[in-house]
Structure 1
Amino acid sequence: MEHEKVKLPKTIINVLDNEIKQATMWLNVAQPFTTIAAILNEMNKTTFDSDLFWWINLPANQWKLIDALRYGYEPEPEPRWGIKSGNCYMIDSCLWRFANVTPELVIDCEADFDEKYEADEVVNKLGFGEVVDLNKVGKADD
């Protein structure tokens, strides 16, 4: 059975890459529990208010980290918000044009939004449509 790479937030990947590099230098291997222990140790030295601290203290995320060390990991896709109405997506955020296109084409046309609230504002101005996560909506259609 082939496992997919685990998708992790970029902030976690930066810390993980650093810890794996150090673990590999000292132990010649990145072992899951020693790597996670090293990350937790680093966090205890810094702040309890960081995104990393809150992310890693969820048990489901610790299992995700173990799978990432076993099967490899890659960054989560950046959030991409689009506006959908019926079967059409907004393809021009200046002229508010819609067309029956794929979510990928919305991104190619640069009609996507990095922040959900920006897309929500446009929907409120238009008076119709719904804000959708372009990273997920394309997968559901396949």
Structure 2
Amino acid sequence: MNEKAKLPKTIINVLDNEIKQATMWLNVAQPFTTIAAILNEMNKKTFDSDLFWWINLPANQWKLIDALRYGYELEPEPRWGIKAGNCYMDAPDSWGFDNVTPKAVIDNGAYWTIKEAADEIVRLLGFGEVVDLNKEGKAYE
């Protein structure tokens, strides 16, 4: 599993800051001291913060440990596309579909970052399905 963990930007900002501080104070950034520092920082802030809700999910705690072990990078922004058969919507302005790859759809900017918006287009069209272009694209790599 030695691949970099993918984390949201808000978490990366906190993590980068904590690692920098831990490295300055201890001359080393150790996973448990870094996580403890993040939890301590979280306790100073409101419980409504993105950090609080993200870090309190067990799967995310493991993701954070993996990030400290193997490194981390920014997770890709959500990219939702509309697929009908073997074709993807590549022209949202005219609701046009073509037999193109998910990468072409992304390059054209023919995607939504909010899934519910793409769901609404499918509902209006009466056909098609909303797909995660980030995952669909991996099948073509």
TM-score tier (shorter) = over 0.9
Q: Partner residue of 1:59?
A: 58
Q: Which amino acid aligns with 2:106?
A: I
Aligned pairs for 1:1-142 (under 5 A) are 3-142=2-141
Q: Shift of the alpha carbon at 1:141?
A: 5.0
Structure 2 residue matching 1:94: 3-state secondary structure: coil
Same amino acid, percent of matched pairs: 79
- Normalised by the length of structure 1, the TM-score is 0.94
Extract unaligned runs of 5+ from structure 2: none
**CA distance in 1 between partners of 2:130 and 2:59 (Å):** 28
Extract unaligned runs of 5+ from structure 1: none
**CA distance in 2 between partners of 1:50 and 1:99 (Å):** 42
Structure 2 residue matching 1:29: 3-state secondary structure: coil
RMSD: 1.3
**CA distance in 1 between partners of 2:103 and 2:137 (Å):** 8
Q: Shift of the alpha carbon at 1:60?
A: 2.3
**CA distance in 2 between partners of 1:26 and 1:127 (Å):** 59
- Normalised by the length of structure 2, the TM-score is 0.95
| Number of residue equivalences | 141
* Runs of 4+ in structure 1 over 3 Å off: none
Q: Shift of the alpha carbon at 1:7?
A: 0.6
Q: Shift of the alpha carbon at 1:126?
A: 1.1
